[in-house]
Structure 1
Amino acid sequence: MKIIKLNAIDSTNTFLKQLAADELVENFAIVVAESQTNGKGQRGSDWVVESGKNLTFSVLYRNNTNYLKSLFTLNCIVAISIVEALQSESKLIFQIKWPNDILAENKKIGGILIENSIKNQEEVQSIIGIGINVNQTQFEHLPQAASLALLENTIFDKMILLEKITNQLKFNLERLGRVGEDFYWNLYHQKLFKKDVVSTFENTMGNRFVGKIIRVSKEGKLEVLLDDDMQTSFDIKEIKMLY
């Protein structure tokens, strides 16, 4: 896999997307930056990291639509790959918080932002942005955030983690055609944070309610059993889960 290392960049996703538009970039090419000045998280939020302490990188993946019927399956595979890679280097308990946060010991240590563009009937180009809090120890005004170093009380080698994550991601994507999407959906639900647990949610109006997460649909919607026994699906922008 080709790795492009940068010191500082506005966004690795933006850089890789522009690079792929300007020239032919090999599949699984990686752009990693020591510092991101305009990194983005889900719902348009900023992803701010301390320079040199964390992993911020993007991976180019050209999807064969014969294998990948649901685009959210890619989110599942990316999240699972991160968790599997981190488990090989850490004893912490990792989970996936819908739609695409990575948790360790119930604290947010990472996130995923995937940008898809349709190239033709058989191919979708995806820019997979990944941020992992590795060695940062200060998270001002972010009570739910943490890092591997903070939780394990040890310093991690970022490049080893990068290699582990990208190799695991490549492995899982390459065997997708053999094992099928359902294989990864089952793994995803095994690691889904608060699955089958009564939790508190907040809608776009600021109203709070309780419900139990049943599953995530193939369209990426969260299916919740409400307290009146009615099952409802919510899109990413419709609700957020409160810790």
Structure 2
Amino acid sequence: MSGSGQAGAARGGAASALPTGWRLEVHEALPSTSDLLAQRAEDGEAEGLAILARQQTAGRGRSGRVWASPAGNLYLSVLLRPEGPAREAPQWSLLAGVALAEAAAELVPDPRALRLKWPNDLLREGAKCAGILAESALAAGGGLAWLTLGFGVNLAHAPALPDRPTATLGGAESPEEFAARLLGRLQCWRKVQRDAGFAPIRAAWRRFGPAEGEAMTVRGIPGFGRFAGLAEDGSLLLEIDGAKRAIPAGEILA
């Protein structure tokens, strides 16, 4: 027992379903799965560790936003130590989004209701049902020392947000069961990335992404543009006043 709560290895069906090379550590409660995993990464933990908390007391999303964390939803952070330059780090959010969307598609009656919102949200019928928090540290030489992907998924509850509607995936699975399925999809897409690079991931993301020409606004960019795809590096392409503009990082407001 520690201040972060009691931890244990995954048990039962969830443990047997874990893909090779992954270790799932389950806590009853933590302040933040991402914070604990970042600490483990800095301490030299090998990649393949996934930390799940049944509740978080200080969960967080992008830009320091509070992530409400009632029991029954998924709070999972995974540790990777990918090869390649640090500039490729944003591509891992898109890879994680594809894995998340595929895992979620098995729980809803109509998978077409699921859409990915660049770069890191999953929507059901336009309402947010999951998000991804990607964090990393630089290594000497310009690579990544480590990268963590934090997943918050509304399996059973849809905590209210002040600026957008929320939804659930229906609560048909326990967090541990969904975690095992998600890790399996991550493993699959990581192999694709190793074998064929980012292009297949980019194409898969487009299948879950917005329709070509969909109007959207991005924080910090005046007016609105229309979705024009993803650049080869994963940047958002917006058509603004007849010209395409690549946006490497940002937040879509609508």
Same fold, judged at TM 0.5 (above)? yes
Residue 118 of structure 2 aligns with which residue? 98
In structure 1, distance between residues paired with 2:96 and 2:161: 28
* TM-score, scaled to structure 2: 0.80
Whichever structure has more strand as a proportion of its residues is: 1
In structure 2, distance between residues paired with 1:6 and 1:61: 20
Asked whether the equivalents of residues 76 and 151 of structure 2 are also in contact (C-alpha less than 8 Å), the reply is yes
Please, which of 61, 82, 85 is the counterpart of residue 41 of structure 1?
61
Q: CA deviation at 1:198?
A: 3.3
5+ long unaligned stretches in structure 2:
1-21
Letter of the aligned partner of 1:240 in structure 2?
Answer: I
What do residues 32-83 of structure 1 show as CA deviations (whole Å, max 9, x unaligned)?
Answer: 1111122221233221122x120011000010218x9722221111110111
SS at the partner of 2:66? coil
Please, which of 134, 139, 147 is the counterpart of residue 126 of structure 1?
147
Q: How many residues align?
A: 230
Q: CA deviation at 1:203?
A: 3.6
Residue 179 of structure 1 aligns with which residue? 196
SS at the partner of 2:107? coil
Residue 212 to residue 142, structure 1, CA distance change in 2 (3 Å): closer
* Aligned-CA RMSD value: 2.4
Residue 167 of structure 1 aligns with which residue? 184
* TM-score, scaled to structure 1: 0.84
Q: CA deviation at 1:216?
A: 2.8
What do residues 86-124 of structure 1 show as CA deviations (whole Å, max 9, x unaligned)?
Answer: 223333322110121011222110011111112344654
Letter of the aligned partner of 1:190 in structure 2?
Answer: R
Asked whether the equivalents of residues 215 and 226 of structure 2 are also in contact (C-alpha less than 8 Å), the reply is yes
- The answer as to 2:81 corresponding to 1:62 is yes
- The answer as to 2:19 corresponding to 1:6 is no
- The answer as to 2:217 corresponding to 1:201 is yes
Asked whether the equivalents of residues 100 and 182 of structure 2 are also in contact (C-alpha less than 8 Å), the reply is yes
Identity of matched residues, %? 20
